[in-house]
Amino acid sequence: MHGGDVHPVEQRDGERPIERRPRPGRLGRPGRPGRLARASPLALAATPLLALVLVVAVLLVVDPVRAVTGTVPVESLAVERVVLEPGRIELRVRNDGRTDVTLAQVQVNGAYWQHTTDEPRLGRLGGTRVVLDYPWERGVPLRIALVTGTGVVVDHEIDNPRETLRPSGETARRLAVLGLLIAPVPIAIGLAWLPAVRRSRPAWFDAAMAFTVGLLAFLVVDSAAEGLDAAGEAPGVLDGVGLFAVGALGSVAVLAAAGDAGRGTVRMPGHGDTAVRLAVLVAVGIGLHNFGEGLAVGAAISTGEVALGTALVVAFTLHNATEGLAIAGPLGGAASASPGPGVRGARRSRAWVVGALAGLIAISGLPVVGGLWLGGLVLPAGWAALAFGVAAGAVAQVAWAVARWLHGRGAALTPLNAGAFVAAVVAMYLTGVLAG
Amino acid sequence: MRRRTFLARLGAGALGGVGTAAMARKRPQAAAPAGPAGGDAHRGGHDGMGTVGRVDHARNGFDPHRILEDFDTGTVSRDRQGRVVHEYEIVTFPKDIEVAPGVVYPAWTYDGRVPGPTIRVTEGDRVRIRFVNGSAHPHTMHFHGFHAAGMDGVPGAGEVEPGASFTYDFVAEPYGTHLYHCHSLPLREHLARGLYGAFIVDPAGGRPEAHEMVMVMNAFDTDFDGENEVYAANTVAFAYDVDPVPLHAGELQRLHVVNVTEHDPLNSIHLHATFFRLFRTGTSLEPHEVTDVVTMGQAERHMLEFTYREPGRYMFHAHQTEFSELGWTGIFEVS
């Protein structure tokens, strides 16, 4: 861009006096004020938009890509959701390709099977329900093949078919109980380490914080892996990796801005308010992660991809108790670091403390219930990519904030702190292996 | 330019001429089949199994039910030596065909149909086929039977370039149920796309009077991944299941079965509630065995003779059950 014609009025403080007269632009007529100078910024911003619309229109009409490749884009269908009832299979199918698709026939386990659809001709992003009467058996894998009008075959496998959860009060209640058992309860148990942390010497408190950072670091990696995994299951048109990126980068930006806004307080180490603020931040990060976890587990339960056994629930419980300990870390500092007048937490009423702890448990644990409901009853699996993206970004931001705060306290990277960090990562890994 | 005018001529000329002449030789219909051409309600009691909808045979330009009894003897005359001469003009061109309801396959065809015309002559007759290539690829007609090396219909001997033609000229021997197919390279592709047909040579002394049918067992790999999505006899999945084949009890049935299935090593035919006399390759007047199922490799073909004793609905299908549930199953409606 050349300043001459785009910004006829140049103004640089300290370099030269303000020029009132426009300099003659290279393309403008000398001596006359440029029309651009008088145009409103809104109109100027709209011009490139109009040009873009024009180019897109030309691309759509002329279709130069077709002229180069000479082929029609390949048809694509995505099975977004499967609803299994005794003797009946229902598929929610969406055209996630770049061309119209006709769903001509359906095969189940290598045999053509009669089906009904709401609408076999699917425009781009168009969806339909496909219903088959089929004597499927619990636990016996189903291979479903959708055959399009041009003979393209879209395979969908249901590894471990079981009756789909029906959205009912009873189902919601059962999912809620499951959610409470695997997140808020173990987190509360983990928080029960708080008195121990409070009474420990400052060095041990620093170690607890390092433990928290380690746990959060692990959750960042875990969220990213889970999110990219879910991205693979998202319909092509949703662009799962893109969804993940939007979630991750978006939450980093939002939380960083929020952190900046409250910078003044965050930089006061040992202050009771800071401790609570940090604990809330950690709880929010863990809560977002647990929401994504709930979504993924809910979707897996509803599509019969996991057999949710007792072992898995036990593993989740251990996993999440570690998360409670991580929240206890910053709170412990409220008492131990500076026993001065700033320690408001110590002087609060018992009811206030209990309420605050309950709030932290709710923030970090309850999202798992929402995730289970959404994933188990409503959302296609692919949306977990967005949720995990948000979690990865948020947890990374929180880990960074806690680490910075620890650094601000003057806590060095002692063997004890490093050991606590590694211990957290290993603990999360081991409990994760149990769950895997 | 030459090819374009030629292709324009194809639709009406070649197809109509050869086709209708061939259709003339149909068996006399003794009685109408029981019931109308059945929809799904008429299917052989396999709950839920099968395709949805119906194939538009008119748009395909051929109907498996007509192919079943469509024996093409060509234009018959005698040469100077007094030998019977069957003359044909067969054109190859690509055509999209509906192989299962709503599933369109980009086939390569002889005369716009898959399988190609069933060429039927008598042992010792002379066969002259003017073969015209209206497609973008070289093609041949390679006959299973005796002929000179130059008439073999392989690359280097009777392969026809796009827009060109060649006349295959040979004396039909031996009698039996045979086949022809394209032998251009890549061979697997040229067969899989639909370039094949039955070639039936009757013994000079004839055979006992019978109701004759031809079934070419074929398959289509609609997504080109090396595995078939559709199996059938005479191309259209479940065609004889949706609309059963009408037969008469007590009537001798003679069924010529040719296997051209690509991508699978074997195919088979099994008849329900009866046994058939098996004439392997049709090259004998005496049956080789009596059975109710016969399994064939690619290009193997047999002649089956059987009679239904009682009226009723009788299934026939590949006894690779996988193939039967992907389209290769049908019903004889015996009245």
Kind of pairing between the strands at B103-110 and A142-148:
unpaired
Cα–Cα nearest to A28, from A51, A5, A58: A5
Please judge whether B238 and A113 are an interchain contact, meaning their C-beta atoms are less than 8 angstroms apart. Answer: no
User: What residues in B contact A116, CB-CB < 8 Å?
Assistant: 52
Task: Fill in the amino acid letter for A96.
Answer: D
Closest in A111, A116, A147 to B49, CB measured: A111
Mean pLDDT of the region A9-23: 48
Does residue B38 or residue A241 have the better pLDDT? A241
pLDDT at B41: 40
Please judge whether A133 and B48 are an interchain contact, meaning their C-beta atoms are less than 8 angstroms apart. Answer: yes
Cα–Cα nearest to A160, from A90, A82, A77: A82
pLDDT at B13: 36
pLDDT at A192: 86
pLDDT over 60 (residue B42): no
User: What residues in A contact B49, CB-CB < 8 Å?
Assistant: 111-114
pLDDT at B143: 98
Please judge whether A150 and B100 are an interchain contact, meaning their C-beta atoms are less than 8 angstroms apart. Answer: no
The answer to whether residues B314 and B299 touch, using CB atoms and an 8 Å cutoff, is no
pLDDT at B38: 33
* Segment 51-110 of chain B within 8 Å of chain A by CB: 51-53, 99-105
**Shortest Cα–Cα distance, B24 to chain A (Å):** 34
Kind of pairing between the strands at B253-259 and B211-220:
parallel
Kind of pairing between the strands at B118-122 and B71-72:
parallel
Greatest mean pLDDT among A23-37, A411-425, B218-232 lies in B218-232
Q: How confident is the model at residue A129 (pLDDT cuts 50, 70, 90)?
A: very high
Please judge whether A107 and B237 are an interchain contact, meaning their C-beta atoms are less than 8 angstroms apart. Answer: no
pLDDT over 90 (residue B51): yes
What is the tens place of the pLDDT at every residue in A284-339? 888 888 887 787 777 777 665 555 555 566 766 777 787 887 788 777 655 444 43
Report d(CA B323, CA B302) in Å as an integer.
19
Domains of chain A: 3-69 (no CATH), 78-158 (2.60.40.10), 169-435 (no CATH)
**Shortest Cα–Cα distance, A144 to chain B (Å):** 13
Q: How confident is the model at residue A352 (pLDDT cuts 50, 70, 90)?
A: confident
Domains of chain B: 2-202 (2.60.40.420), 211-334 (2.60.40.420)
pLDDT over 80 (residue A349): no
Could you please report the per-residue DSSP string of B109-144? EETTBSS--EEEEETT-EEEEEEEE-SSS-B--EES
What is the tens place of the pLDDT at every residue in B233-268? 999 999 999 999 999 999 999 999 999 999 999 999
Task: Fill in the amino acid letter for A411.
Answer: A
Ramachandran sector of residue B163 (left: φ over 0; alpha: ψ -120 to 50; beta: rest): left
Q: Taken in order A359, A365, A370, A371, is the CA torsion positive or negative?
A: positive
Q: Which of A90-104, A141-155, B35-49, B249-263 has the lowest mean pLDDT?
A: B35-49
CA distances from B53 to A182, B102, B105 (A): 49, 8, 17
pLDDT at B190: 96
Mean pLDDT of the region A417-423: 91
Does residue A316 or residue B75 have the better pLDDT? B75
Does residue B284 or residue A223 have the better pLDDT? B284
Task: Fill in the amino acid letter for A363.
Answer: I
Closest in B225, B229, B238 to A147, CB measured: B229
Q: How confident is the model at residue A12 (pLDDT cuts 50, 70, 90)?
A: very low
CA A298 to chain centre: 15
What's the mean pLDDT when you consider all of chain A? 78
Burial class (CB in 10 A: 0-12, 13-18, 19+), A121: middle
B199: CB partners within 8 A, 6+ apart: B118, B119, B120, B143, B144, B145, B178, B179, B180
Q: What is the 3-state secondary structure (H, E, C) of A56-70?
A: HHHHHHHCHHHHHHC
pLDDT at A333: 57
Q: How confident is the model at residue B73 (pLDDT cuts 50, 70, 90)?
A: very high
Helix, strand, coil fractions of chain B, as percent rounded to 5: 15, 40, 45
pLDDT at A186: 87
Mean pLDDT of the region A197-223: 83
**How many interface pairs between A and B have CB atoms less than 8 angstroms apart?**
73
Mean pLDDT of the region B296-300: 97
